């Protein structure tokens, strides 16, 4: 993929994530901060399908943005054909791994498999 | 100077003493990005404790809902706000907003893109991050 396209994705995921993370944080402030972290409240959040879908979207957006950012930093430090391939594929694998791990939590909690 | 001697590596990238506030912003942007990625991975792991049921969730909450945990979270809030505000500035700059008009380079060759608009953006990001950290601390310690 062209670097210009990757940077458009990087900026797009950033803007979308800012809006959704703001909603995610505001949900912590609807009740008291400590109260919002109580088991029943968190479970209710996960079981509310639109909120769970939003969490999944945040997970994907931040994983794409975060690991692409890490890739950019690592490529600024050092260049080379093998190194660049290793960094790019390594970040891609880590990104998919994190999305899979986070999705497992969201889906299983949403379906009441706790 | 040979090519090898000219390579400063991470030290060169991290040196905030050259090129003014823009270099500081560059360094803070990368540090906050790495910090936020580390926090994000830890947060995904932290929230997965809900799969261990109420006991597992409460056990993990006891670890994070401490004075140290709140201070750590305030730092995360600061990094998040700085990264967001400075990120918007960088995006606008890449889009050509606030970088000035192209002109003939004359002595002392001040880059048109490193102007007061972007400096204000960087200082605003730092101030907003500090304010957000204070607000976060007030919310977390206020209960």
Q: Which residue's entry shows tokens 């880059």?
A: B111
| Nearest CA-CA partner of A65 in B36, B56, B86, B78 | B36
Architecture in CATH of A3-110 = Up-down Bundle (1.20)
What's the Cα-to-Cα distance from B91 to each of B98, B137, B141, rounded to whole Å?
11, 29, 35
- A73 and B33 within 8 Å at the Cβ level: the answer is yes
Q: Please, which residues have CB within 8 angstroms of residue B17's CB and are 6 or more apart in sequence? A: B23
Q: Chain A: residue nearest B136 by CA?
A: A33
Q: Which of A32-36, A79-83, A101-105, B133-137 has the lowest mean pLDDT?
A: A32-36
Give dist(CA B112, CA A95) in Å, integer. Answer: 38
Across chain B, the runs of DSSP E, i.e. the strands, are none
Q: Which of A30-39, A52-61, B41-50, B65-74 has the lowest mean pLDDT?
A: A30-39
Which residues of B fall within a CB distance of 8 Å from A101? 44-45, 48
| Nearest CA-CA partner of A102 in B103, B40, B140 | B40
* Stated pTM of the model: 0.89
Give dist(CA A15, CA A28) in Å, integer. Answer: 21
Domain edges within chain A: 3-110
Q: Which residue's entry shows tokens 């003014």?
A: B20
Which band of pLDDT confidence, cut at 50, 70 and 90, is reported for residue B8? confident
Q: Is the pLDDT of residue A75 over 80?
A: yes
Higher pLDDT, B46 or B4: B46
Please state, rounded to an integer, the average pLDDT across all residues of chain B.
88
Which helix (DSSP H) or strand (DSSP E) does residue B12 occupy?
A: helix B9-14
Average pLDDT, integer, range A41-54: 93
pLDDT in tens, B91-134: 999 988 888 888 888 888 887 878 888 999 999 999 999 999 99
Which band of pLDDT confidence, cut at 50, 70 and 90, is reported for residue B3? low
Q: Is the pLDDT of residue B4 over 80?
A: no
Which band of pLDDT confidence, cut at 50, 70 and 90, is reported for residue B1? low
Residue B6, pLDDT score: 65
Residue B5, pLDDT score: 66
Tell me whether A105 touches chain B (CB under 8 Å): yes
Tell me whether A41 touches chain B (CB under 8 Å): no
**B-side interface with A, Cβ within 8 Å?**
9-10, 13, 30, 33-34, 36-37, 40-41, 44-45, 47-48, 50-54, 57-58, 61, 65, 80, 84, 87, 91, 94, 139-140, 143
Which residues of A fall within a CB distance of 8 Å from B80? 21
Higher pLDDT, B119 or B18: B119
Higher pLDDT, B73 or B64: B73
Residue B2, pLDDT score: 61
Of B45, B50, B87, the CB nearest to A42: B50
Q: In the numeric block, which tokens belong to residue A83?
A: 């190194």
Domain edges within chain B: 9-36+66-141
Which band of pLDDT confidence, cut at 50, 70 and 90, is reported for residue A8? very high
Q: Is the pLDDT of residue A66 over 90?
A: yes
């Amino acid at each position: 993929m062209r670097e210009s396209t990757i940077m458009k994705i990087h900026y797009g995921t950033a803007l979308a994530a800012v809006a959704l993370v703001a909603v995610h944080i505001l949900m912590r402030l609807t009740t008291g901060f400590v109260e919002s972290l109580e088991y029943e409240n968190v479970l209710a959040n996960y079981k509310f399908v639109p909120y769970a879908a939003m969490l999944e979207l945040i997970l994907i957006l931040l994983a794409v943005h975060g690991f692409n950012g890490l890739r950019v930093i690592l490529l600024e430090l050092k260049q080379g054909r093998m190194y660049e391939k290793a960094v790019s594929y390594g970040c891609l694998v880590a990104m998919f791994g994190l999305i899979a791990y986070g999705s497992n939590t969201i889906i299983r909690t949403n379906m009441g498999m706790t | 100077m040979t090519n090898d001697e000219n390579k400063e590596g991470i030290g060169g990238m991290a040196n905030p003493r050259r090129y003014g506030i823009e270099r500081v912003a560059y360094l803070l942007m990368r540090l906050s990005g790495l910090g936020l990625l580390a926090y994000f991975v830890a947060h995904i792991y932290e929230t997965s404790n809900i799969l261990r049921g109420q006991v597992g969730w409460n056990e993990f909450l006891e670890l994070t809902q401490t004075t140290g945990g709140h201070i750590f979270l305030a730092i995360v809030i600061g990094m998040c706000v700085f990264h967001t505000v400075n990120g918007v500035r960088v995006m606008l700059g890449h889009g050509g907003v606030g970088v000035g008009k192209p002109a003939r380079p004359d002595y002392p060759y001040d880059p048109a893109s490193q102007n007061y608009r972007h400096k204000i953006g960087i200082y605003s990001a730092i101030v907003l991050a500090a304010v957000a950290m204070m607000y976060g601390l007030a919310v977390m310690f206020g209960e």
